[in-house]
Structure 1
Amino acid sequence: MSSPPLVSVVIPSFNRRHCLPRAIASVVAQSHPALEIIVVDDGSTDGTAEWAAGFSCPVPFRFHPLERNMGAAAARNRGIDLAEGTYVAFLDSDDVWHPEKIARQLAALEASGPRYGAAYTGIASLTEAGQPCGVSRATEAGDIRLALMNHNVVGSTSCALVRRDLLKAVGGFVPTLKSCQDWELWVRLSAITRFACVPELLTTLYIAPNGRITSSGRNRLTGHLYMYRTHLRHYFRDGSVDPALFTSTLGEIFVQMGRSDYGARLLGRNWRAKPRSVKRLALYLMARAGLGKARYFAVAEFLNRIEERLRPTALRAPEPGQPVPGGGPASASAAREIQGGAPVAH
């Protein structure tokens, strides 16, 4: 019987000492037995290096500090270079996995065949207080190139598992991008491999309060314009992909940047393409009225919740720290110790 493939878990971190133990605990709790953890510290100043120096882990663990703050994409690329596994799984330092996440992805890849070199899961988003605030359904599988021209159907890097040789073949992440890094990588990977899909919500993202309001609108705009010029423009122009979702996102970004006039133009164009959409009309009118980004996003989130209730998912996010069925108490116990911040003996 062949040994299980080694999976390298790459965790980029910048001033996240307070939540790193939670992320690592969810890796230790995985039912898949062959793992290594690589934390790439992106120039933290919060004592992360000192914490790592006294940290021990029941699975192979490496801490690699970068010389200076270089951004999440560069940190992930360094992790890919250091990885020794057949597969690489990315986990942001403020996110967590369900214990069956890696095992389910590997099973999906094995069942799909050798042409499949990447797998992703559904995502549940929670506030830091643990309140649900969004679901990303994993529905597209196989050749997902055209689906990715519409929007980032895969989602966050934290939900993905990719063969290391494929990541090397496409050159990893574009290090200069401050947003859309994940989407852009999935597009290039989709040209050389197929994606398996695990619909269950096995990845949990913790969303900071007012995330879209406080994030950099300029960085978001730069990333989306890069995607348009590099990958999307051809598909929009020949009509093979509806640009409505992309146009709506650009409108939102301009509202975020305080340019409601530009946002209203784009959102108005989107509404006129589908005039019966109450949501599109509401977003256009709010931008045109210049309500301000805080009120705009509050109403937008309310409309999203209504939309979610009208098309509810049968899936529910499992508790990330629950014991693995049939897996024995050892991994769950170790995960609890790590999450509590105490060193764990080998």
Structure 2
Amino acid sequence: MKISVIIPTYNREKLISKTIESVLQQTYKADEIIIIDDGSIDNTKDIVNIYTSKHHNIKYIYQENKGVSNARNHGILLVQNSWICFLDSDDIWEKEKLEKQVNFHTKNKHILFSHTDELWIFNNKIIQQKKHQLKPSGFCFEQNIPNTLIGASTVMIHKKVFKDVGYFDETLIACEDYDLWLRILYKYELGLIDEKLIRKIAGHQNQLSFTTKLMDTYRINTLLKFKNTEYKRLINEMINKKCTILIKGAIKHNNKEIEEYYTKLKMLSAN
């Protein structure tokens, strides 16, 4: 199996080297590494160019800032191979990540989408995952409705899945992975390598989850896509729950517009 790795990045001069090194040190080598720089204004380009000068399989693409979804989609359109992995530029792979995932797909040829467990590190401390955050496998659309249980940096996916369900939704400022994973899980079985093969580094300032407000608004936009499916009851229950959270926040901050919008949406989801 030939693997293409897509690394979207934006102003990660302090982190990008460790991320790239973790790919180069894999026991199973990636055929190509595509780094999509989404408009960095720091020294990211200079750091990446050190690697492109030494490794012919690393490609560096600079684009104007269009968001992580566009950067990932850009990478998908450029890859030369059928199997794709994503790696955020603040995450690190363990050395056997690719090898173990390739072995899994070699033995389970019918599964076109897999992920691994991950180690969460916040401010240099390991965060223990709770029971409801444990990684799922199989046909697990329902388990991922409340929040995605799949980390973008953990996945390996066959390119034809994108041709079937579409790409990352570029209209979403956040939760773009939640949106795509649900669209995939609605149709495809998910494989799991139940080992912590990713180190997910959290707590730095330009992380989307820290800089994007009202994350549930984007999750609701995704859930609305499934209102007319056999999961309608569960979808409506989750929309109702997330609307309640947003309404409470709007009342607290005296934002009548948001309060009225999600109150109406909550009423519709109850029907």
2:23/2:30 contact within 8 Å kept: no
Q: Kindly indicate whether residue 147 of structure 2 is the aligned counterpart of residue 162 of structure 1.
A: no
1:122/1:198 contact within 8 Å kept: yes
Alpha-carbon distance change, 232 to 157 in structure 1, aligned in 2, over 3 angstroms: farther
Q: Kindly indicate whether residue 72 of structure 2 is the aligned counterpart of residue 71 of structure 1.
A: no
Q: What is the CA–CA distance in structure 2 between the aligned matches of 1:158 and 1:213, rounded to whole Å?
A: 15
Q: Kindly indicate whether residue 25 of structure 2 is the aligned counterpart of residue 23 of structure 1.
A: no
Which amino acid is the alignment partner of residue 20 of structure 1?
I
Instruction: Choose which of 124, 129, 135 in structure 2 pairs with 1:130.
Output: 124
| Residues 16-75 of structure 1 deviation map (CA, whole Å, 9 limit, x = unaligned) | 121100111111111112431110000111122233334334461000011x11000000
The number of residues matched between the two structures is 253
Which amino acid is the alignment partner of residue 44 of structure 1?
S
Instruction: Choose which of 188, 197, 200 in structure 1 pairs with 2:183.
Output: 188
| Residues 195-252 of structure 1 deviation map (CA, whole Å, 9 limit, x = unaligned) | 111111111211116979843224x1331121221125756653x57946x7666556
Instruction: Choose which of 29, 40, 49 in structure 1 pairs with 2:36.
Output: 40
2:216/2:242 contact within 8 Å kept: no
Give the SS at the match of 1:217: coil
Q: What is the CA–CA distance in structure 1 between the aligned matches of 2:128 and 2:208, rounded to whole Å?
A: 13
Q: Which runs of 5+ in 1 are unaligned?
A: 267-346
Alpha-carbon distance change, 192 to 255 in structure 1, aligned in 2, over 3 angstroms: same
2:202 is aligned to 207
Q: Kindly indicate whether residue 103 of structure 2 is the aligned counterpart of residue 103 of structure 1.
A: no
Q: Kindly indicate whether residue 5 of structure 2 is the aligned counterpart of residue 9 of structure 1.
A: yes
Q: What is the CA–CA distance in structure 2 between the aligned matches of 1:213 and 1:51, rounded to whole Å?
A: 25
2:268 is aligned to none
Q: What is the CA–CA distance in structure 1 between the aligned matches of 2:50 and 2:119, rounded to whole Å?
A: 32
Q: Which runs of 5+ in 2 are unaligned?
A: 264-271
2:115/2:193 contact within 8 Å kept: yes
TM-score, normalization: structure 2? 0.80
1:7/1:87 contact within 8 Å kept: yes
Q: What is the CA–CA distance in structure 2 between the aligned matches of 1:73 and 1:212, rounded to whole Å?
A: 12
Instruction: Choose which of 88, 113, 121 in structure 2 pairs with 1:118.
Output: 113
Which amino acid is the alignment partner of residue 124 of structure 1?
L
1:125/1:133 contact within 8 Å kept: yes
1:53 is aligned to 49
Give the SS at the match of 1:194: coil
Q: What is the CA–CA distance in structure 1 between the aligned matches of 2:128 and 2:104, rounded to whole Å?
A: 24
Give the SS at the match of 1:141: coil
Q: What is the CA–CA distance in structure 1 between the aligned matches of 2:209 and 2:247, rounded to whole Å?
A: 11
Q: Offset of 1:172 from its aligned partner? A: 1.3
- Give the structure with higher Rg (CA): 1
TM-score, normalization: structure 1? 0.64
User: Aligned runs of 1:141-290 on 2, under 5 Å?
Assistant: 141-153=137-149, 155-208=150-203, 214-218=210-214, 220-231=215-226, 237-238=232-233, 243=237, 259=252
Q: What is the CA–CA distance in structure 1 between the aligned matches of 2:228 and 2:253, rounded to whole Å?
A: 24
- RMSD of aligned C-alpha atoms? 3.0
Q: What is the CA–CA distance in structure 1 between the aligned matches of 2:124 and 2:251, rounded to whole Å?
A: 30
Q: What is the CA–CA distance in structure 1 between the aligned matches of 2:158 and 2:242, rounded to whole Å?
A: 31
Q: What is the CA–CA distance in structure 2 between the aligned matches of 1:95 and 1:105, rounded to whole Å?
A: 17
Which amino acid is the alignment partner of residue 203 of structure 1?
I
Give the SS at the match of 2:145: helix
Alpha-carbon distance change, 41 to 212 in structure 1, aligned in 2, over 3 angstroms: closer
